[in-house]
Amino acid sequence: MPCCSFTTREWTGNSWFYPIEDDSHAIGDFNMIDETRGLVIERDGGQGDAEQACKDGNTENCFKKPATFKRIYMIDMAGVNNGEAVKKVAYIDLMDIKGADGVARQGKREDGRFTFPFVTIENVDRVDENTIIVANDNNFPFSKGRQLDARDDNEMILLEVGEFLKAKAK
């Protein structure tokens, strides 16, 4: 992850290592929000709710490889030397968002949680001091994360995560 100075916008020649949680994961997006901290989407290659996963050899009307790992990490490079791993200081689990309370038009589960079970979560950025925006790109007509019988919409969600946005390395 090579970097430039956030304030001067000049190349520093420094680079850091991002430690993924599993070798099968991918990075969907990475955006710096200040001089040392950034937002990273780390995701598995699955799509769809795990409760609709294929079971007992069935491969019809079920998700063959459901989503299990979709996170937004806050990373911090403060005090991290050139060539070392950045520090993961906080995360949001996009497969277990609480507090949708009737706001979510799609993705709200009966237990009140909200999930974002897409293979193509590819956008994250800070909106203000308390809010981030997260979006998927449906790669029409291929993505199926919400429903087994319909292609995904592009979705954008606003998450109020003020404490998360304050997270820093200790």
- Could you say which residues of the chain have pLDDT below 50? none
> In the prediction, which pLDDT does 59 show?
82
Q: Taking a C-beta distance cutoff of 8 angstroms, is the pair 137, 119 a contact?
A: no
Look at the chain and report how many structural domains it folds into.
Answer: 1
Task: Please tell me the predicted confidence (pLDDT) of residue 11.
Answer: 82
pLDDT on residue 111: 75
- Expressed as residue numbers, the domain containing 35 is 2-166
Q: What is the pLDDT of residue 102?
A: 61
What pLDDT does 50 receive?
83
Q: What is the pLDDT of residue 46?
A: 92
pLDDT in tens, 2-11: 566 667 778 8
94, 132 in Cβ contact below 8 A? no
Q: What is the pLDDT of residues 86-122, one digit of tens each?
A: 999 999 999 988 865 666 666 666 777 788 988 889 9
Of 111, 135, 118, 151, nearest to 29 by C-alpha is 135
Contacts of 147 (CB under 8 A, 6+ apart): none
